[in-house]
């Protein structure tokens, strides 16, 4: 499994709209091949920052999702609300525990 962590900085006041669009995107990813799960996080001391944690069976599954029309539909909307380009880091999942 692979996890991608994306750091995003939002334009001031754009947070509610961006969060709603990202919720739509994560809900659409739910049915994609290889999707394991995801989280949208906000630091308590930086309300205009977001951290997206997405876990996929393979990086190829994630790349296929990025070519999907459902993903593309939200891309421009989200990018227009961001103050700077996002930063991403890939991680191989060594251990995962859940109840």
CA distances from residue 39 to 11, 23, 90 in whole angstroms, order as listed: 21, 10, 15
Tell me, what's the pLDDT at 88?
Answer: 96
What are the residue ranges spanned by the domains of the chain?
2-92
Q: What is the pTM of this model?
A: 0.89
Distance CA 92, CA 18 (A): 28
Q: How far apart are CA 40 and CA 42, in angstroms?
A: 7
Task: Please give the pLDDT value at position 76.
Answer: 84
Give me the pLDDT at residue 74, please. Answer: 86
CATH assignment of 2-92, given 3.40.50.300, 3.30.70.100, 3.30.70.3150, 3.40.50.970?
A: 3.30.70.100
Neighbours of 72 (CB within 10 A): 10
Per DSSP, 11 falls in state P
Report, as an integer, the average pLDDT of 50-75. 92
| Phi and psi angles of residue 61, each rounded to the nearest 5 degrees, phi first | -60, -45
């Amino acid at each position: 499994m692979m996890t991608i962590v994306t750091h995003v900085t939002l334009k001031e006041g754009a947070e509610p709209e961006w969060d709603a669009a990202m919720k739509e995107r994560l809900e659409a990813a739910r049915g994609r091949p290889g999707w394991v799960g995801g989280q949208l996080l906000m630091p308590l001391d930086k309300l205009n920052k977001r951290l997206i944690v997405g876990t996929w069976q393979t990086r190829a599954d994630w790349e296929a999702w990025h070519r999907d029309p459902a993903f593309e539909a939200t891309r421009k909307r989200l990018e227009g609300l961001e103050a700077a380009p996002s930063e991403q880091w890939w991680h191989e999942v060594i251990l995962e525990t859940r109840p």
